[in-house]
Amino acid sequence: MTFPTPPDLGRSWWLRECLALPEFRDPPAAPLAGDTATDVVILGGGYTGMWTAWFLKERDPGIDVVLLEADICGGGPSGRNGGFCDGWYGHVADLIPTYGAAAAKELLDAAGSSPDEIGAWCDEHGVDAWWRKGGDLAVASAPAHEGKWVGTIEAARRLGVEDHYRVLGPAQVAERVRSPMFGSALFLPDAATVHPARLARGLRRVLVERGVRIFEHTPASRLGFQRPVVVETPGGTVRAEEAVVGLGAWATSWNAFKPILTVRGSYMVVTGPAPEKIEEIGWTGGEAVRDLRSSIHYLRTTPDGRIAFGLGGLQPDLARKIDPRYAYDERMVRRVAADLYRMFPTFEGVPMEAGWGGPINVSGFTMPFFGSLPPGNVHYGLGYTGNGVAPSHLGGKILASLATRADDGLTRLGVVTREPKRFPPEPIRSPGMLIANDAIRRKDDREADGREADPVTAFVAGLPRAMGFNLGPGPRKTR
């Protein structure tokens, strides 16, 4: 295996690719210098913060919006993810017990339109974010995974949305992508893929054109809960009528979110271009592929014939901030690349061109949650649990409604009204998560070798679900 030199300095391959292009290389936004006042201040320049700014301006072009980003917009997970752009159809089996059937159907409908709306938005605004509707293939990569979708199909029938799912046998899967590890699969035709950083930087460009005042390299260091809200940064303060918190994993340092938000890690590699090898395995339809492990593999192609391949469910010690281990890390690249070569042996010899990771902010129900903190003018959208590319578009609509006090269908969705699931307090939480995560990975690895997990491992891996969390072996898979 060959490795990229020099290391990527903490930026994903996606971000480096697009920042090298004139159409995405906008001048940096200067840090805040001095004090200012605004209608709405947004903390965080990921998709959640930026879609919120977009929908606020769409509803009221005259509204003044200030967006504060500690790094550059898209420097966090929004510019370093797998680019799987799907709603919540894959979660249907967990949605019904969590929210009830009627609310589950509302959530499916609300998020279901986001992949297409994102594609249309990119067309309208001249953002070439490689949007492609190739569908999502949730594939059995071990015999133990076969039939894991039965509960999903049953739940889909109950809600009358079964048209959004197709079960494919091994031969039909092989028509889409060939791997010696793949058996049958569940195919979700509505899903798309995007180039995550081009989407983030495209959003940023359009927001600047719309008059959103963006300050990069401007970390919010303190937020005063009062009216107006006062946000302190190293270069000055922002006074605002309303504040929106789109800080992803960084929000776990806020006391208000500690009980309901935790962090895991995900790591990705990208191969060099090998279009002839992509042809050889027949993977030319642009499908987003994920397997049915709990510590999920997620993989997709790029237009120039690469595979971008990720491994999710990493231990929480790799979390919380984009620390050096989330930059290029040879140990992690070797580990993830070994899984890629095992899945596609004909790629042996194709070099890995980059590796990077990022924190995943995890909620107990694996669904994001939205709401407002006292005295009512600080609104938040967090907890996407590895599925935020399309749901943050819906999240932007919800937060725009909350910030403008619109009493509409969006603010009555289950992700707003349902209390998030609370994690156990420390000192139980961290060791408990480590032990459960370890058991989940051991169970996945044994199943990949065609063996069953021993009873103790299976029992410990099943504990999160037994305690009412939608985490670990069960219907839902996360990155």
Q: How far is the CB of 322 from ligand FAD (least distance, A)?
A: 7
Whole-angstrom Cα distance, residue 253 to residue 353?
Answer: 34
Q: Which is nearer to ligand FAD, 45 or 464 (CB)?
A: 45
Q: Smallest distance, Å, CB 398 to ligand FAD?
A: 12
Nearest distance in Å: CB 46, ligand FAD = 2
Nearer to ligand FAD by Cβ, of 70 and 448: the residue is 70
Measured from the CB atom, the residue of 70 and 398 that comes closer to ligand FAD is 70
Comparison of 218 and 457: residue with beta carbon closer to ligand FAD: 218
Q: Which residue's CB atom is positioned nearest to ligand FAD?
A: 388
Residue with smaller CB distance to ligand FAD, 40 or 220: 220
Q: Pick the closest to residue 206 from 424, 55, 79 (CA basis).
A: 55
CA distance 215 to 49: 13
Positive or negative: CA dihedral 244, 246, 249, 250:
negative
Distance (Å) of CA 417 to CA 98, 110, 405, 409, 412 = 12, 15, 15, 11, 6
Q: Report the nearest approach of ligand FAD to the CB of residue 193 (Å).
A: 8
Residue placing its CB nearer to ligand FAD in the complex, 331 or 425: 331
CA distance 166 to 248: 33
List contacts with ligand FAD (CB under 6 A). 43-49, 68-71, 75-78, 80-84, 219-220, 246-250, 266, 268, 298, 310, 357-358, 360, 384, 386-389, 392, 479
From the CB of 11, what's the least distance to ligand FAD, in Å?
12
Cβ at position 189, least distance to ligand FAD in Å: 17
Q: Which is nearer to ligand FAD, 402 or 453 (CB)?
A: 402
Shortest distance in whole angstroms from residue 135 CB to ligand FAD:
14
* Separation CA 314–CA 431 (nearest Å): 14
Phi, psi at residue 460, to the nearest 5°?
A: -65, -40
**Considering beta carbons, is residue 286 or 357 the nearer one to ligand FAD?**
357
Taking the least distance from each CB to ligand FAD, the nearer of 392 and 437 is 392
In whole angstroms, how close is the CB of 144 to ligand FAD at the nearest point? 24
The residue among 38 and 387 lying less far from ligand FAD, judged by its C-beta, is 387
* Residues 371, 291: Cα–Cα separation, whole Å: 33
Alpha carbon distances (Å) from 287 to 13, 35, 225: 20, 48, 45
Closer to ligand FAD at the Cβ: 69 or 447? Answer: 69
Q: Are 42 and 244 in contact (CB under 8 A)?
A: yes
Residue 320 beta carbon to ligand FAD: minimum distance, rounded to whole angstroms:
10
CB of 38 to ligand FAD, least distance (A): 15
Nearest approach, Cβ of residue 450 and ligand FAD (Å): 28
